[in-house]
């Protein structure tokens, strides 16, 4: 037996002792431990058909799909005290297309935005499965807005939501309600720590987890779905794969650093220790979404530099936005909207803590921002003229939206935070985890933001959730089918 564990460990993770690995390998019978995120004495053992790790869009989709494919003993692990991960705090913009032309259009947008680094098969799988995600959520009770909108960071209007400013919460709510009606056991405050592989390292035999009581448990299973989200919150992984990023950079999930952000890359580390290939790990997406922005759609707010002028189209792709803000001397911008545009769920909170302020006139807003009033007035007047004629005079491109003219105005300072991990575990279109030699690790599946290759260098706005819903569903189905096939084979022999 050969311990994989520890070989690829990142500097920031607790060391896995060689001796302990052998001890566990021996204790675990025929299998070998593929690397645990901590080391300690013999765990208690139990069995499951499928273990799903994570309760965001990917994990919940996987769990529901697994159950609907007939898997009986399904265990869902969540290290946080509640379900939802980044999904529950997301704006809920979900890119989805039904028609063949729409599917081709969405696939092409993903490939173009990914700057040639997205895997065409994965991109197409996302687009083809996107409407299925909408239908599954509809079946669980989500109702949708009637016309798609253009999410920030999206080239065109393909996104849907539930019509509420907290659509991400709505999705998690209905999926958790559905999961509670099944036999799946959802365990909160339980952290997956490592995978157990077969002696040849080719297939999954189990998963180690730490329970809420602090005990270690080995769940023996033939199928694990890693749906642990991204690694934006892992300083160790950021240092390792994107050392140019300032270490103090906050995440959009926890702007201010006060909230629990579980995007530690746990699944990525576990998969890597099991011999999985990682792709596009340098592709971390930054977004101005840590301060004054209140909307997640294009056409309701104006972005300004410190001179009170627009410096980038609010509808630009995430990469262009990143470049434009980085080139500002302050690396920050002002955002202004008015009373008419429908706002996200954070308005009340941001007004309360002063992140966003209210002004009755543009004059008052200019004073609050410290930008020249004449420049602001001229910028907003030109913006409003552009909106009315559907042509953006500042950037020479088509434009849709609402004029910013109805008091009160809302304004705030906005800066970058880390938003999304484009890179992660390499998968096949069937969500099987790939090794560098192109073989899959049998029984190991991954879905959602923990994976890489779907988006390439950058992501289309609205496609993060679609990715998680689509590949979560695929992973869950594949996991259940594997277990069924193995059971049938065992019965036949």
Region binding ligand FAD by CB under 6 A among candidate stretches 15-23, 123-131, 238-246, 458-466: 458-466
**86 sits near ligand FAD (criterion: CB under 6 A):** yes
Q: Exposed (0-12), middle (13-18) or buried (19+): which is 160, by Cβ within 10 Å?
A: buried
CA 162/CA 169 separation, integer angstroms: 10
Per-residue binding string, ligand FAD, 155-194, x by CB under 6 A, is ------------------------------------xx--
Cα dihedral 190, 192, 193, 196 in deg (nearest 10): 130
Taking the complex as a whole, the smallest distance from the CB of residue 362 to ligand FAD amounts, in Å, to 29
Report the residue from 35, 288, 423, 448 that binds ligand FAD according to the rule CB under 6 A: 448
CA 358/CA 336 separation, integer angstroms: 10
Pick the closest to residue 79 from 214, 191, 162, 167 (CA basis). 191
Footprint (CB under 6 A) of ligand FAD, residues 272-311: 296
Residue closer to ligand FAD by CB (options 223, 468) is 468
Region binding ligand FAD by CB under 6 A among candidate stretches 336-344, 437-445, 460-468, 482-490: 460-468
Residues 6+ apart with CB under 8 A from 210: 38, 190, 191, 193, 216, 217
Report the residue from 194, 229, 452, 476 that binds ligand FAD according to the rule CB under 6 A: 229
Query: Is residue 192 within 8 Å of 53, Cβ to Cβ?
Result: yes
Q: How many residues bind ligand FAD (CB under 6 A)?
A: 41
- CA distances to 38, 304, 441 from 215, rounded to whole Å, are 12, 52, 27
**252 sits near ligand FAD (criterion: CB under 6 A):** yes
Taking the complex as a whole, the smallest distance from the CB of residue 329 to ligand FAD amounts, in Å, to 27
CA 345/CA 295 separation, integer angstroms: 9
The size of the chain, in residues, is 493
The encoded tokens of residue 164 equal: 């509420």
Region binding ligand FAD by CB under 6 A among candidate stretches 362-370, 378-386, 459-467, 476-484: 459-467
**315 sits near ligand FAD (criterion: CB under 6 A):** no
**463 sits near ligand FAD (criterion: CB under 6 A):** yes
**130 sits near ligand FAD (criterion: CB under 6 A):** no
Per-residue binding string, ligand FAD, 43-72, x by CB under 6 A, is ----------xxxxxxx-------------
CA 382/CA 391 separation, integer angstroms: 11
**80 sits near ligand FAD (criterion: CB under 6 A):** yes
Residue closer to ligand FAD by CB (options 170, 392) is 170
- Binding residues for ligand FAD, rule: CB under 6 A, are 53-59, 77-80, 84-87, 89-93, 191-192, 227-229, 252-253, 262-263, 266, 296, 419-420, 448-450, 462-465, 468
């Amino acid at each position: 037996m050969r311990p994989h564990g520890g070989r690829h460990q990142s500097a920031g993770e607790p060391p896995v002792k060689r001796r302990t690995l052998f001890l566990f390998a021996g204790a675990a019978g025929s299998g070998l431990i593929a690397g645990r995120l901590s080391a300690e004495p013999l765990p208690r053992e139990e069995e499951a058909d499928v273990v799903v790790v994570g309760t965001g869009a990917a994990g919940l989709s996987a769990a529901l799909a697994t159950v609907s494919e007939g898997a009986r003993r399904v265990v869902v692990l969540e290290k946080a005290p509640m379900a939802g991960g980044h999904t529950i705090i997301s704006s809920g913009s979900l890119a989805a297309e039904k028609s063949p032309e729409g599917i081709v259009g969405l696939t092409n947008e993903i490939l173009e935005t990914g700057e040639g680094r997205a895997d065409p098969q994965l991109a197409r799988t996302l687009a083809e499965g996107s409407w299925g995600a909408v239908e599954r959520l509809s079946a669980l009770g989500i109702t949708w807005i009637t016309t798609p909108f253009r999410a920030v960071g999206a080239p065109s209007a393909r996104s849907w939501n539930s019509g509420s400013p907290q659509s991400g919460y709505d999705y998690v709510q209905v999926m958790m309600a559905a999961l509670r009606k099944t036999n799946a056991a959802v365990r909160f405050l339980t952290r997956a720590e490592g995978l157990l592989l077969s002696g040849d390292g080719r297939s999954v035999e189990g998963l180690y987890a730490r329970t809420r009581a602090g005990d270690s448990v080995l769940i023996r299973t033939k199928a694990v779905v890693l749906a642990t989200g991204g690694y934006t919150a892992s300083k160790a992984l950021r240092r390792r794969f994107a050392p140019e990023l300032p270490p103090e950079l906050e995440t959009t999930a926890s702007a201010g650093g006060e909230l629990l952000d579980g995007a530690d890359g746990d699944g990525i580390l576990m998969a890597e220790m099991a011999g999985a290939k990682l792709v596009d790990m340098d592709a971390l997406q930054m977004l101005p979404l840590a301060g004054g922005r209140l909307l997640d759609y294009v056409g309701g707010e104006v972005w300004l530099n410190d001179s009170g002028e627009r410096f980038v189209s609010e509808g630009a792709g995430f990469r262009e936005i990143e470049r434009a803000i980085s080139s500002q001397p302050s690396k920050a911008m002002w955002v202004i909207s008015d009373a008419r545009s429908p706002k996200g769920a954070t308005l009340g909170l941001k007004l309360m803590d002063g992140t966003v302020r209210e002004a009755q006139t543009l004059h008052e807003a200019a004073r609050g921002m410290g930008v020249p009033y004449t420049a602001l007035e001229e910028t907003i007047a030109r913006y409003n003229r552009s909106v009315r004629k559907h042509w953006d005079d500042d950037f020479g491109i088509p434009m849709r939206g609402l004029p910013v003219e109805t008091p009160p105005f809302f304004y705030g300072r906005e800066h970058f935070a880390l938003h999304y991990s484009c890179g992660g575990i390499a998968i096949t279109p069937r969500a099987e985890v790939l090794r560098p030699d192109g073989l899959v690790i049998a029984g190991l599946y991954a879905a959602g933001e923990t994976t890489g290759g779907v988006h390439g260098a950058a992501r289309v706005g609205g496609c993060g959730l679609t990715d998680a819903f689509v590949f979560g569903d695929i992973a869950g189905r594949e996991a259940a089918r594997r277990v069924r096939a193995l059971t049938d084979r065992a019965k036949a022999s």
